[in-house]
Structure 1
Amino acid sequence: MSLRPGVEAVRRATAGARHPLVLVDGPSGAGKTTFAAALVRAWPGRPPRVVRVDEAIPGWRGLHRGALELGRSLVAPHARGAAGVVHRWDWLEDRPGVDLRIRPDAALIIEGCGAFAAGGERSGAVRVWLAAPYPTRRRRALDRDLGAFDAHWDAWEADWCRHLGRTGHRAAQRAHVTVRLAP
């Protein structure tokens, strides 16, 4: 997977923006976290703040609801130049966690399944879609979490499909930049 063209496209698209917002979306195991990390390393000046959508998702069946709430509590205030909040989920305790307040003093990257929904219709947001074949995604996701995610893969994938159904399966078509992971 060559990330450089996608990273450079995002840098060009955000140049000069006052409160840049980059939304990195796609299915589990497609390379979103890797792309976001590469983007942070290449970012000129003060590095952007990265928020992972799954920090705000209330459990294995809350992807859509959590992404929309992240839009209300973080993205909308950030667009106005105000501080926002991430209502975090404690995955180990399976309950709400400690809220995280984020000031709008740096660019913001929202990374994870549902990032486009979190960004809503925010004008100027740069949308990056990561894609990979199902077997590759599954292998990467399960390898990444060293077995901790194995029992939840099917539930998470089903929640992802429900989320896509709610968004009309058009998320990938809204991307400004698409990066595809080869098998």
Structure 2
Amino acid sequence: MSSAPSRSSADPVDDALTTAVAAVAARVARVGAANPVVIVDGRSGAGKSSLARRLVAAWPGRGRVQLIALDDLYPGWDGLSDGVAYARETVLVPHGRGLVGVWQRWDWELGQRAEAHAVDPSLPLVVEGAGLLTPEVARLADVTVWVEAPLPSRRARALDRDGDTYRPHWDRWARQEDAHIEAHGPAAAADVVARIP
């Protein structure tokens, strides 16, 4: 029996995220571009944000990596598809054309767009959010990721994170995710499928 410490942590979610980040980072390294685009999709609470943050921290290249969460772009609780279209037009299309993109944060309390943010086309870009992996978006990405997790885990993580703010909207948001999955089959379209417990 070895006395060496196990490389596995006691947290299966942490282990799964570590494995997923390594797989995505390897795909990014194979792209070989200075400014690759990574798209991370998955249902609410699956672990998209955690994976995206860890990927940025473990980025296989040098320099700054831009990270955009669609939670800052969706125009309200019925805005999944509109938020994805907004991200595509204001962030991903300009980035792909070598142009500066500009997006405005959605202020959930005021129900309107707020301050503007620029996206540098010369820098790598990670965009994460539910509904993101559509055929139109996939054409603008270098690496696509689908994050899969069981419903009880997803729900617990999402409601632990957002609590009473999210609870009354869980079902209406899930219906929009269902429609996206039925229309676009994002898991089958992804370069990497990350399975998080």
Asked if Structure 1 and Structure 2 have the same fold, meaning a TM-score greater than 0.5 normalized by the shorter chain, the answer is yes
Measured on the aligned residues, the alpha-carbon RMSD in Å equals 1.8
Deviation at 1:123, TM superposition (A): 5.2
C-alpha distance after superposition, 1:65-113 (max 9, x if no partner): 2101211111011112211122321111112222322112321000110
Question: Could you say which residue in structure 2 is the equivalent of 1:12?
Answer: 26
Q: How many residues get paired? A: 180
Task: Give the unaligned 5+ runs of structure 2.
Answer: 1-12
Kindly name which structure, 1 or 2, has the bigger radius of gyration based on alpha carbons. 2
Question: Could you say which residue in structure 2 is the equivalent of 1:72?
Answer: 89
User: Which aligned segments of 4 or more residues in structure 1 are displaced greater than 3 angstroms?
Assistant: none
Deviation at 1:124, TM superposition (A): 5.0
- The alignment status of 1:153 with 2:167, answered yes or no, reads no
In structure 1, distance between residues paired with 2:77 and 2:106:
11
Moved more, 90-99 or 71-80: 90-99
Task: Give the unaligned 5+ runs of structure 1.
Answer: none
Question: Could you say which residue in structure 1 is the equivalent of 2:188?
Answer: 173
Question: Could you say which residue in structure 2 is the equivalent of 1:23?
Answer: 39
Q: Which structure has the highest helix share of the two?
A: 2
In structure 2, distance between residues paired with 1:124 and 1:74:
12
Deviation at 1:171, TM superposition (A): 0.8
Distance 1:146 1:124, change over 3 A: closer
C-alpha distance after superposition, 1:126-164 (max 9, x if no partner): 111111111111111000113221122122112222333
Q: Is the contact between residue 71 and residue 117 of structure 1 (CA under 8 Å) also seen in structure 2?
A: no
Deviation at 1:39, TM superposition (A): 0.5
- The alignment status of 1:40 with 2:49, answered yes or no, reads no
AA aligned to 1:11 is A
Question: Could you say which residue in structure 1 is the equivalent of 2:112?
Answer: 95
Distance 1:70 1:127, change over 3 A: same
Q: Is the contact between residue 87 and residue 96 of structure 1 (CA under 8 Å) also seen in structure 2?
A: yes
Question: Could you say which residue in structure 2 is the equivalent of 1:109?
Answer: 126
TM-score with structure 1 length normalisation? 0.89
Structure 1 counterpart of 2:80, from 54, 57, 63: 63
